Amino acid sequence: MKLTRVLATTLALCSAALSFSATPVYLDESKTLEERVEDALSRMTLEEKIGIIHAQSKFSAPGVPRLGISEIWCTDGPMGVRPEVLWDEWEQAQWTNDSCTAFPSLTCLAATWDPEMAALYGKSIGEEARFRNKAVILGPGVNIYRTPLCGRNFEYMGEDPYLSGKMAIDYVKGVQGNGVAVCVKHFALNNNEINRHTSNPIVDDRTLYEIYLPAFKAAAIDGGAWSFMGGYNLFRGEHASYNPILMNDILKGEWNWDGAVISDWGAVHDTETAVTGGLDMEFGSWTNGLTNGVSNAYDNYWLANPYLNGIKEGKFSEKELDDKVRRVLRLTFRTAMNRNRPWGSMGSDEHRDACRKIGAEGIVLLKNQGNLLPLDPAKVKKIAVIGENAIKMMTVGGGSSSLKARYEVTPLEGLKRRFGKDFDIVYERGYVGDTLGEYNGVKTNQDLRDFRTVEQLTSDAVKAAKEADIVLYFGGLNKSDHQDAEDSDRLSMVLPYGQDELIEAICKANKNTVVVNISGTGVAMPWADKVQAILQAWYLGNETGNAIADVLSGDVNPSGKLPYTYYADLMQCGAHKLGEYPGTPAKDKFGNDIFDIPYNEGIYVGYRFIDKNNLKPTFPFGHGLSYTTFKYGKATVDKTEGVKGDSFTVSVPVTNTGNREGKETVELFISDLKSSVDRPVKELKGFSKVSLAPGETKTVTFSVNEYDLSFFDADKHEWVCEPGDFEALIGASSADIRSKVKFSVR
């Protein structure tokens, strides 16, 4: 008897010891992610499952405190880590430790055409989000630039799905290498800001799959994005944030994606569709019947008590709930509960240098008549700097991407630092645009007031221009409403504040005029033939002035190329020529007012539309000059016959024929010479950026497979590569084809 009791006691002590010391599976990082997810799920109550899938504050979700499952903290935005806001308000929390590095706009990143810059960008911004202990950064934005009027084009990566996708991949990997999730947005078809909560794009499947999905697919599959954000808009009558076609059929079905879908803030409008439509986390809802703001009663969110009660009443099973919870747990274990994460950093010299490098590499030299640039102290003594955008801080404003930057070097400051001793620099305002410098409680503290009349401002500017050897005009747009800003679109392509007239007057006063256009989207340039040089300088963040001075001085040889077409006017853009922007009044399934926007231009977006209609834009997609010149040799193609189809290697030698080092992006377009369906004249299917010393030649190679040659057959619902002849077109831009070579697919 005694022995058995001793044994039993010993066993009990051992198992107690074991159970005490044994780490629960969900906390054991030696287990697989799925094992941890399943174990955590099995321990959660119904209330805890409901709790984990919706917000508890403006930017956080509660996790499961009882089990030690971390909260999920999100932060904007795609170009820098947003300053802390109050628990349930957009207003500033007035923290003093949350000033960030403001990186260049994503159109600037796209304009580098350099995946290494995307990797550097993602790593840097991910380190800042990690240091701020954020699990999710709400970016990148990869919506296609369908119209130059879209207020958020500056947050996206241009008009071409292939370029946007390729640049998104390395951004995603760079961020997530820090144990911080990206939240790729706004999935999908959020291509305008006007009526952004009620726009209902009418898009056929082929257009959807060939133009509006590829960048998201690349981010999800090749980038491995851990979360996506659904857009505010509708698609085929259902809100994007919980659209069963986008979220269930495509993202989680066809793409077999295991991440979490987060709603846009306030994008959820009912429970049932949110339950069945593939939404996993609800943020920012303004619940019906309750006051907004502090008492926002998160338990009344659509995926909170209404969902819980629905389950208890048998209206919903727990099947969808468990899938949502699994995805949120996966997101949590990959980020907040991942012990192997690096520690991040904020405002480091490395981030400063990355900001300046990406900015300088993204600036596009559109025109340089007579090689007026780079500025040469031997030829130039007096410079007139004119325009509000030479002095206006742009890191504040524009919507949710607005930042509290540690500092911002304006263009004028950057020029003075670089050229102060070389040149006599005078500054003239030229025009008064937006003197407000505040967004959500963040202030620039600039006093931009100027009480001169337009006539006085103009005559002062013209006088300065007359007396100078060269004029550097800094204009374009800013982050105020109806410019480059969220929640409103531009009202036209025309530059605001009478800039066109001012630029004309300045050109008359001094033929050596350089226009530095600061914007995140295309603008009309009626003066393009009159000015000697034009730079497209984006919103470049903290290092704006230094990056611009790097290029104007020639310290950096510009190598950016346009990620979108510079239309002469809106009639060169399919969305306006054929499409029905901003849409026509209609009703959704609940009878609410919406705007149907038939995308009649279909796949003919950007240069695809330009080519189809033989139009001549101000500057074409993919255009960008250098301070040196490049010669392209003859393209050749080698074919490899494979079991799964043919693949092709296209090669082209490129030589630097100038007298200074430079980088050149070589663009590969593919043309299907004979197909059963209408196809674009050509489509971008490759690009490669090479650095060449004077006289140096490198051979650039591209690999092309049958998928690259395919079009999406909506009837078969699959990609189809038809046998026949194709042509590879090697371009310095979409309108500057340097070499062609034919090949055929069996």
- Three-state SS annotation for 3-26: HHHHHHHHHHHHHHHHHHHCCCHH
CB-nearer residue toward ligand GLC: 284 or 347: 284
Among positions 262-291, residues that touch ligand GLC (CB under 6 A) are: 264-265
112, two tokens: 């580098």
Report if residue 185 touches ligand GLC, rule: CB under 6 A.
Answer: yes
Minimum gap (Å) between residue 488 Cβ and ligand GLC: 12
H-run or E-run covering 575: helix 574-577
CB-nearer residue toward ligand GLC: 400 or 734: 400
CB-nearer residue toward ligand GLC: 279 or 684: 279
CA distance 297 to 136: 23
Minimum gap (Å) between residue 58 Cβ and ligand GLC: 8
CB-nearer residue toward ligand GLC: 91 or 725: 91
Is 448 in contact with 392 (CB distance < 8 Å)?
yes
Task: For the sheet with 181-187, list strands across it.
Answer: 60-61, 72-75, 136-137, 181-187, 227-230, 260-262
Among positions 108-147, residues that touch ligand GLC (CB under 6 A) are: 138
Nearest Cα residue to 103 out of 171, 2, 177: 171
90 in helix, strand or coil? coil
Please compute Rg for the chain using Cα positions: 27
Report if residue 627 touches ligand GLC, rule: CB under 6 A.
Answer: no
Among 124, 233, 273, 400, binds ligand GLC (CB under 6 A): 400
Q: First-to-last CA distance in the chain?
A: 84
Cis? peptide before 694, omega within 30° of 0: no
Binding-site size for ligand GLC (CB under 6 A) equals 6
Minimum gap (Å) between residue 597 Cβ and ligand GLC: 18
Report if residue 302 touches ligand GLC, rule: CB under 6 A.
Answer: no
Q: How far is CA 475 from CA 63, 368, 432, 434, in A?
A: 47, 18, 11, 12
CB-nearer residue toward ligand GLC: 296 or 400: 400
Minimum gap (Å) between residue 264 Cβ and ligand GLC: 5
CB-nearer residue toward ligand GLC: 138 or 346: 138
Report if residue 488 touches ligand GLC, rule: CB under 6 A.
Answer: no
Minimum gap (Å) between residue 477 Cβ and ligand GLC: 19
4, two tokens: 């058995």
Minimum gap (Å) between residue 265 Cβ and ligand GLC: 4
Half-sphere exposure of 444 (CA within 13 A, CB side): 22
Minimum gap (Å) between residue 445 Cβ and ligand GLC: 24
Residue numbers annotated as active site: 264
Estimate the share of the chain in helix, then strand, then coil, as percent rounded to the nearest 5: 30, 25, 45
Nearest Cα residue to 497 out of 530, 463, 450: 450
CB-nearer residue toward ligand GLC: 323 or 481: 481
- Please tell me what DSSP assigns to residue 543: G
Among positions 57-86, residues that touch ligand GLC (CB under 6 A) are: 76
179, two tokens: 């144990």
CA distance 475 to 478: 9
Residues that bind ligand GLC (CB under 6 A): 76, 138, 185, 264-265, 400
